[in-house]
Structure 1
């Protein structure tokens, strides 16, 4: 089920590859959202706020690890595009060993310092214990997340976007079942939701690597290839570390934003959480297009087809911009109705709308810059450029920091609401300019 993206019509190749990714990403959001919905409807609004308040911490620790592992597989994509089977296998072995080190290190850090992080984020006292129970358990299962994303990224590197979708569909259904079992039957509360997520991701990882062992022989290193090599490690860290730091920088900004939201109380947190969950589902086409362009650009860079990278980026940008308008309209009109999914019948949804509406309204106006941000950033990463995309994360952090600090010091919620869209615009403009520089740099190096 490999796909060679160096030949054929760029539009059809990109769309065919993106659609399974989009479905998979949507289902991943759905099973993440299942924790929030089931906790909110069965345990209560306070528990929902507790789970929601930890979302940015989860993004930080998972994002850092995922950024590294995704960066590790850029080499796999490039060597596959170049037709170098031995280096492709070596890149896999090196990536697996580096991922083990990454998972152990990041898990240890967050397990030790989790309570301090929650205090720094102004987590309200009435939700603190539930929040800690949830995110502490998630931290212990980080290795499951790391290896599911590593397995999926390896498959995507050789053009296979369907198997990660199938494994994710299975684990999404399993996660909902386990949520209901652990929360309703065993009364484990927010901790039960975290255990369900960890088990589901562990099974997703196992299924991906089982498929690789049976069907993708190119991704199975020979016994003598299992070692950490200096050259491969240098390249994988050169790409992976900036990607991880970019996630960490972006997550730091969202943590500051969450800290600002937390100052307005648990009702604001619950409302913001439910609105952002729905929005995250609707914007998965943008995330998926970015992932597609990382594979597409990586293979074509490896094959020396720089002209096809240009064609693919133009195609992806036009398609994503048009789709962003449609998605923005859907989010704006459906958000008031989707809030009710997260709460029981005793909750007054009208009390939540003043917190949700300003945030969603500001976001949908900036969906086009957000969609372009993913395309430009992932294209540069697929070509092996890590530093410039990471600096885009710094732009996001600066914008979120300004808006969030204004919200905290003035007590005006609107500043917190515009934190996300201001970050998207700032980073979108920057990454567009950085992409143009990268393409010129690649062409000049090829000419030499």
Structure 2
């Protein structure tokens, strides 16, 4: 199938024509670093408050995690939906639609995040109790959340702009924006937590200021290219565009919010076993995110490339991109897994000082990630179906691992094995999810083959029809 060359600009030319391995790495490395840097916000806060205040502060961040993850999940819903729509529009050569996508995305984000921030602030105490906090952890969690929620708008703004820039072929700007924010967070945490001991409030203030700085830089970069694509920054809501954004991005929202839902369930379940269990969960959840970052960075880099080529009807390129992305994701995740397994004690000791908590955390972490590398195909399937706008399948896959499999498994295993059941539930869920992802990927590629075959038949029939009409015209003369 011929490439829609009219749709290709100098920025997105790589999506259609560049070596697949090269273009994947080109966009995956900034994506991985961006995800890594984004995780550093909470990671750095955990590191500093754990050292300056103690284990209860780490428990407080574990309680705060669902709130923060819920807000960023909404931002990612809009960002992924909007960026996929941009990539598809570029592939189709539909620049009229492209120029209105960002304005709708930002308007939707402002409405949702503003309402959510006000709601959380007004009902803070009730929310914290529902999240499973204990009496010792409650004051630390409240100090942190009551401030950090006000950075949600700026963080979501940066995410949306960053994803838009990536879809337009500029992944580096997103990387720099998040890196600047994370770097500022480290410096401000040192100042406000260690030098001027403001405790949890200091960590929260550092995070919000850093998110504001990151948002300013992201907008500065976007303002330089918006004229080229005639992108409108005016706030408006178009029903069709909003539906497209939400339908495509909802799967990413489910993936992200699933972690928050699981965290709430684990915190409530483990609260019966004391503060230590919650603290261990908080620590190993932070560390395990490093493994997810590599895999999600590669599969998210795959998404705009697949979306562009699918829009341009270049199906052979789509299949090649998916195949290479799956292979690279598996190799890199395997390497990260080996490092984490070998150096688990050294890595986790950076967060906790208490030796009994450290021993428990290291053992739990190794069980938790024992078969992690095989789950890469599951996430590849989710992002593939997102890219081709099969939102229903993508949604089913998104809720499958965490909500449909992990939660029932963990509830059963905790009854059978106590706290150990939590850690055993992860490899069980990973195995089931990997098998499911493989089945869906095989099915997805077969469907692509059918579409390609049908379009080739239609194309051939069209040529035949034109020639037949031309012959009839000549005969009539």
Q: Write the distance in 2 (CA, Å) between the matches of 1:132 and 1:387.
A: 37
SS at match of 2:350: helix
1:403 counterpart = 2:413:
no
- Select between 155-164 and 392-401 the one with higher mean Cα deviation: 392-401
Q: Against the structure 1 CA distance between its residues 77 and 49, is the aligned structure 2 distance closer, same or farther, given a 3 Å change threshold?
A: same
Q: Write the distance in 2 (CA, Å) between the matches of 1:230 and 1:283.
A: 34
Q: Does the aligned pair in 2 maintain the 1:77–1:298 contact within 8 Å?
A: yes
Which residue number in structure 2 is paired with residue 378 of structure 1? 383
Which residue number in structure 1 is paired with residue 314 of structure 2? 305
Which residue number in structure 2 is paired with residue 36 of structure 1? 46
1:391 counterpart = 2:391:
no
- Select between 45-54 and 206-215 the one with higher mean Cα deviation: 45-54
Aligned residues: 443
Q: Write the distance in 1 (CA, Å) between the matches of 2:262 and 2:54.
A: 28
SS at match of 1:263: helix
For each residue in 1:132-172, what CA deviation from the matched residue of structure 2 results, as whole angstroms up to 9, or x when unmatched? 22123222321112101101110111122111111222111
Matches within 5 A, 1:146-225: 146-218=156-228, 220-222=230-232
Which residue number in structure 2 is paired with residue 119 of structure 1? 129
Q: Write the distance in 2 (CA, Å) between the matches of 1:108 and 1:435.
A: 41
For each residue in 1:97-133, what CA deviation from the matched residue of structure 2 results, as whole angstroms up to 9, or x when unmatched? 2222222233234334443332223322111111122
Q: Does the aligned pair in 1 maintain the 2:374–2:431 contact within 8 Å?
A: yes
Which residue number in structure 2 is paired with residue 22 of structure 1? 32
Which residue number in structure 2 is paired with residue 348 of structure 1? 354
Which residue number in structure 2 is paired with residue 62 of structure 1? 72
Matches within 5 A, 1:67-146: 67-146=77-156
Matches within 5 A, 1:249-288: 249-288=258-297
Gaps of 5+ in 1: none
Q: What TM-score do the two structures reach when normalised by structure 1?
A: 0.91
Q: Write the distance in 1 (CA, Å) between the matches of 2:175 and 2:294.
A: 14
1:241 counterpart = 2:250:
yes
Q: Does the aligned pair in 2 maintain the 1:403–1:418 contact within 8 Å?
A: no
- Select between 225-234 and 94-103 the one with higher mean Cα deviation: 225-234
Q: Does the aligned pair in 1 maintain the 2:299–2:383 contact within 8 Å?
A: yes
- Select between 435-444 and 24-33 the one with higher mean Cα deviation: 435-444
Q: Does the aligned pair in 2 maintain the 1:88–1:218 contact within 8 Å?
A: no
Q: Once the 2 structures are TM-superposed, how far is the Cα of residue 185 of structure 1 from its aligned partner?
A: 4.4
Q: Against the structure 1 CA distance between its residues 348 and 222, is the aligned structure 2 distance closer, same or farther, given a 3 Å change threshold?
A: closer
Q: Does the aligned pair in 2 maintain the 1:336–1:353 contact within 8 Å?
A: yes
Q: What TM-score do the two structures reach when normalised by structure 2?
A: 0.85
Q: Write the distance in 2 (CA, Å) between the matches of 1:114 and 1:297.
A: 42
SS at match of 1:124: coil
Gaps of 5+ in 2: 1-9, 456-477
Q: Against the structure 1 CA distance between its residues 122 and 251, is the aligned structure 2 distance closer, same or farther, given a 3 Å change threshold?
A: closer
- Bigger Cα Rg: 2
1:329 counterpart = 2:327:
no
Q: Write the distance in 1 (CA, Å) between the matches of 2:12 and 2:45.
A: 35
2:55 aligned residue (19, 35, 45): 45
Q: Does the aligned pair in 2 maintain the 1:56–1:255 contact within 8 Å?
A: yes
Q: Does the aligned pair in 2 maintain the 1:272–1:355 contact within 8 Å?
A: no
For each residue in 1:340-399, what CA deviation from the matched residue of structure 2 results, as whole angstroms up to 9, or x when unmatched? 2123xxx332x1244223432233322223322222111211111222222223322132
Q: Write the distance in 2 (CA, Å) between the matches of 1:111 and 1:252.
A: 20
For each residue in 1:65-108, what CA deviation from the matched residue of structure 2 results, as whole angstroms up to 9, or x when unmatched? 32233222211111122233222111222222222222223323
Q: Write the distance in 2 (CA, Å) between the matches of 1:387 and 1:78.
A: 18
Q: Does the aligned pair in 2 maintain the 1:249–1:394 contact within 8 Å?
A: yes
Q: Write the distance in 2 (CA, Å) between the matches of 1:313 and 1:292.
A: 11
- Select between 83-92 and 122-131 the one with higher mean Cα deviation: 83-92
Q: Write the distance in 2 (CA, Å) between the matches of 1:161 and 1:32.
A: 23
CA RMSD of aligned residues (A): 2.4
